[in-house]
Every structure is written in C-alpha cells, then in structure tokens.
Chains A and B, each alone.
Chain A
Amino acid sequence: MTKYLLPALVILPPVLGLLAAFLPRLLRWLLLFLTALATATVLVAVRPGEMMPFSAALPVDALGPALGLHLALTPTAWFFLVMSSLATASFTLFSLVFNDERHDSGIAPLYLALLGFGSGVFLAADWITFFVCWELASVLTLIIVGHRRGHAFSAGLWYFALSALGSLSLLAGAWWIALHNGSFRIDDSLVTLTGWVASGRAAAWPVLGLFSLAFLTKAALFPFHMWPAFAHAEAPDDFSPFLSGVLIKYGIYGLFVVWVPVFFHTPEGAVRTISGIPWPLYILGWVSALTAVVGTLMAIFTNDAKRLLAWSTVANLGYIGTALSAHSVLGTAAALFHLANHMVFKGAMFTTVAAVKWRTGEREMHRMGGLALRMPLTFMTFLLAIIAAAGIPPMSGFASKWMIFQALFEKQLVFQATALFFASTGAFLYLYRALHSIFLGQLSTRHEHVREVPFLMALPMVAFMLALMAVGFAPGLILKPVNWVLASHGLDAVRSNWTIVVGATAHIDFATLFGVFGFAAALVFLFFVLGGRRTKVPMMDNYTSGEDPADWGLTPERYQYAYAFYQPIRVLFSRIPLGATEALFARVARALVRTGSLVADGFASAAFSTWSILLGAALLILFGVLS
C-alpha cells in the first residue's frame, strides 16, 4: 500500500481536479481543502527513509536513457513538502470560505492539479519527471493567474515566458549530463556533475548555468526579479498566498538540490574561491543581496498592498539566497529556516490582505485605514506577521534573520551583511506603512459597516499566529528537521535544542527572549488599559492652523495620509534606476517583435518572392564553392 503513496501524492490531485471540474462550487473547494489536508497529514506522519522510492519505467527505451516516473522522498524533499503542504492546507481552508458566490474565481480544479504537480517537483527523482511537473505547474499557474483580464494575462505570460526559458534550459542541462552517463536520475547526474567540477572539466560550468537559470528565474532573483510584482499581485486574491508562500520556493529547492552537493562535496581547490567561498556562490551572494535591496526599495514605493507584499517576497528570497551563498552549515540552515518562516508570515500577510479585500473590495492602500477596530483578528494576524517579517523578536522571523547575519559574520561578508541590514531597515518602513495604511489611522466612512471575517476564514489566521509565536519561542521546531536535511547531505548539524540556538559569535535562548518581550507587551497593554480616558475622534473632526479639512475641499474619501507615503525617500532614491532591468526586458521584447514584423512583412512581400528565387540560385553557387 505504502508503495503507491508517492505516486498517489502526485497523480491523485490532478485526477481529483478533473473530477472537481464537474462538481458544484462548494464541493470543489471542499475537495481542494480536504486533498491539501490529507496530503499534509500523510506527510507529517511519514518520515523520510520510511518510504521506498517508486519507479515505473515508461517504455520509450529508444530515446536512450531510460525514461519513467521516478519518485523518492529524500529528507530535503520531505522538509519542503511538509512545510509547503501545511501552509497549503491553511491557504485552501481560507479559500474554501473566500470563494463564495460573489468572489468565486473558479480555479479549484486547476489548483488541485497544481497541488499534485507541486508535490511532483519535490518528489521527482529524475529530471524528466521533475521537468514535467515543473512545466505543468507553470502552465497551471499561467492559467490561474491570467485567466481573467488582459492585464492579469500579461502578468501570467511574463511568468510563463521566464519559466519556460528556465525549464527548457534545465532540460538541456539534464540531457547534456545524460549523454555522458546515460541517466536522467537526479542523484546520478549530480554525482557526475560533482565529478566534473572536481576534475575541472569545462563542461561543468555551462551545465550548472543551465540548471541554475531555471532555478534563478523561478526564485525571482536578480535580474529576473520583476515577475512576482506582476504575477503575485494579479493572481486571484486567495491564490496569492500559495503563489508567494509555496510556489516561488520551488526555485530555492532546485538551487538547494543542485548547488549544495556540487559545492559542499568538491575537494578544496577544485573551484576558485573568493574570500573563502566558491565563486558561483559568491556571485549568488551578491545577486541575492542586490535582489533584497531592490525588492525592498520597490516595496517601499508601491501603493498597492499586493504589489508591496510581492516585492517583499522578492526581498525575502534575496535573504534566503544570501544565506545559502555563505557556504556554511549555519548559512544553509538559515536559508531553510527563513524559507519555512517566510511561507508562514508571507502566507499570513497575503491572507489578511485578501480578507481585507474580501470585505472592502480595496487593494490600494491609501483607500483604506482604521480597519483594526472593524477586523481585530485580521489586524492581529497582520501585526504578528509583519513583526516576523521585519525580524523583530520574539516572532519566528527574528530567529532566522539572526542566523543569516550570524552566517554572514562567520564568513566576514561585511558588505553583504550591510546590504541586508539596509534591506531589513527598509522592511520596517514598508511593513509599517502597510500596517498603518490598512489598519491604523482613521476609518474611512465607506468602511463603517465592515465586519470581521467568518470563523472558518479566521481559523487559518489563528494557525499562522500560533505558528509564528511557537517558532519564535522554540526555533528547534524547524531547526530539528533542518538538521535532518543537513545530515542527509553529509553536513554537520546546527548546534541547537528546542529553544537555544548557537551561532558563530553568540547564542540566544529564544524562550527567555520570548518571555522578556511577552512581559513587555503585557506591561504596555496593562498601561493602555489602565491609562487615562480616550476620546474617539471622527476623521473630519480635525483642524490645522484653524482650518477645517472641509475648507480645503477635502471629502472623507479624499482625506488620506497614506498616498505617496514615502515620497521623501522616493525623491532620495530617484537617481537609482530601479526600473532599468524591467525596461531592458521590455526593450528586448520590443526589438524582437520589430524583427518579427520585418520578417512577417518583408520576406512575404511580392518584391521578395522573385528575389528569393535569385537567392536560391546564389545558394546553389555557394554550395558549389563550399563543396
């Protein structure tokens, strides 16, 4: 029975998706939630190593290397799967309520199929299975993101074009190795690739580059960092948490699976190092740090809540990449840890923003405000999530960010650490801005009647809050499985128990920290409750220099502080060409289209048709000369 568990995880959800296409709305979403829940339950129950690898050969023997469906539950795959399936179960519970009569996006069947192919990406033991799942997941994402409006479609198309570019490169890389060792299996090809790197074979670098292109595009690292701002923002609101929390992590998974064996298991001196780090990792470190900075700046300047969160995702992937590039046990562990944390806090943020939009229909932050009183639970979730995202104790994000900095200090990567500090400071700015604009300040008169989300929708939010606090209290919850992953790659474990983590220069008892901050928070709350009388002031009851807002012609709809919130900072950074890469890509696309229209019109014109006969004659003569 357990023999078929792995293929069932991959194949059953798409089959159920096909079934769901014929079900009524509520049953579809229920089926989606139950599938996600069952997947998460199964994965939490099993341990890597307990499951036998599954393989079924596809009789396409004539292609050379054997093809087939090969699945294996490695510790790495298990870690990613457990984290993502737990998060997905929460997201789908949220979706179950979110997609009511009025908000139904109709994507449940596709979402179901996506769950299966997503698991397939992690479980795949050969590159062809990996490619198939990866590509189908991209296609499904394209349809889900872009099936509505023209704008959303171009966002999906951006995503798909980059993804197809990367995945075809991956296919080429896999073939390149398979032509040498006759196998598409991931472990075989990594052994070969490691051998090539160790022996200094030139072919190792283009192959590694082909693989990495796929993962870097998916992980939205510089210069491919612009697609989440389109795709994550334009996706259906309840799908954005999955997109930003889970889907984007496939890239990190690939990077982890390929780069860790290649760079940790090659002997000293085989790869040229820069400040003690193999040069590709060093470059990755800078690229990721740059991604973190650019993502942060873009997040500060945006006025759309979902775009802000999408840019924040880009910045966080920058952190993860930088941690991975430190080329140490601590850094690798920090990357995995931050990745798991990001799933939760970014999921929580996107969920709350979706909840707000569900109630108010707004996405532009300056049109909201003061919703904390109307949606207190949503507010609390968002508050705890941004505390985690900004890396403030005692939430989970602090632990992982602290580990990232420890890893960078250990390798004395001062400049990258500085860049991350800059990005972290920026994170305070944009996260507080989001909190302030949406939940604090004055309640708009249009939102007087907004109510809290229903119970089932609140349930995942409570789960996120508990997770954020639990991991902040006891990082060992995540670090223990992380240590299993490290052990499976032959690396040392991070020294930690449930609550204490030992870094390079210091160690922290997170339980104590949690207690201190909890106590402080309780004290503040106490003062707040005991404190003096408070008067609630309606928005228009306000004056400046004796003038009433109404005197300036302001109405409650237009009276907002939150528009162009960080204009001064924007002016400060106006010289930095943040949109340059985007403009470059757009220019390349336009040039391609122009070439295309030249071909379409020029070559097919009447004038050319007789010329091509002449060209044929010239070709003939050329052949004669050549031979």
Chain B
Amino acid sequence: MNVVPIVAISALLLFGIGLYGLWSGRNVLRWILAVGLMETGINVFLVLTGWRPGGAVPIITGAFSTRGPSPFIDPVPSALVLTSIVIGLGTTTLALALAVLHARAHGDLECGDDPENAEVLE
C-alpha cells in the first residue's frame, strides 16, 4: 500500500483546517489551535520529503554499501521536524501566556483593536 498520497492529503488537510481557523474568528485560543494544526501539517509534510520507498531508519547498525541508492530514508528532514516541534512548543507556550495576559486585560479572548488613549508606562 502506497502511504504517500494518504500522508500528503492529511498534511494538506491539517494545514487547510488551520488556515481556515485563522480567519474564521478572533478568539486567541482558536488562533493558537489553528497555528498548531498548521505546524503539524507542515511537520508531516517535512517527514514525507525525506521518505523513500523501502528506506530504513537512518541508524547505522551494520555494514552497508555506499554505492547505488541509499538504503536509508533521508535523516535531515527528521532532524528538521524535531527542531520545528521544539520551536512550536516554545511559541505555543508563549502564545498561551499572551492569552492569559489578554484575558486579564480584557476579560475575554476576543482579540480586537488595541484600545486608544490608554496610559503607556514605559
């Protein structure tokens, strides 16, 4: 069974759902979830770019030939995905903290215009 189309379509779906979530409302939490979905979609796509039919996990356990097609999947995208997930974790945490700030300042999570004529402290 060829998994490539299934994975690709699900990646695209995740990305699309995220994109829709972005401008279907102004709720901060909805935005955070939407961005998370988009990032997941991209991560899935990244993994896909390194995949090759019949490729093994790129951990050298025994002898292998450097001639001919590589027996491993490309390890670089996997490394990129790891980094990307870590960054995603960081920004999501930060965004949640901002959402808390927003709720404290406005009492809700509907992110409208910046209020005018407010005191600015520094």
Contacts and interface: CB of A to CB of B under 8 A. Distances in A.
A614 interface: yes
Interface in A606-621: 606, 610-611, 613-614, 617
Interface string B39-76: 00000000000000000000000000000000000000
A624 B97 CA distance: 38
A605 B113 CA distance: 6
A613 B113 contact: no
B23 A614 contact: yes
Nearest to A605: B113
B48 to A, nearest CB: 21
A611 B22 CA distance: 10
Interface in A569-627: 605-606, 610-611, 613-614, 617
A517 B112 CA distance: 82
The binding surface of chain B is classed by DSSP as loop
Contacts of A611: 23
A60 to B, nearest CB: 40
A507 B112 CA distance: 81
Interface residues of B, number: 7
B81 interface: no
B113 A610 contact: no
B38 to A, nearest CB: 11
A610 B22 contact: yes
B111 interface: yes
Nearest to B23: A610
B13 to A, nearest CB: 17
Contacts of B23: 610-611, 613-614
Interface string B92-122: 0000000000000000000111000000000
B104 to A, nearest CB: 19
Nearest to A617: B19
Contacts of B19: 613, 617
Interface in B11-30: 19, 22-23, 26
Contacts of B112: 606
B113 A606 contact: yes
A617 B18 CA distance: 14
B31 to A, nearest CB: 9
A614 to B, nearest CB: 6
A88 B55 CA distance: 88
Interface of B: 19, 22-23, 26, 111-113
Interface of A: 605-606, 610-611, 613-614, 617
Given A606-B26, A610-B26, 12 more contacts: A605-B113, A606-B111, A606-B112, A606-B113, A610-B22, A610-B23, A611-B23, A613-B19, A613-B22, A613-B23, A614-B23, A617-B19
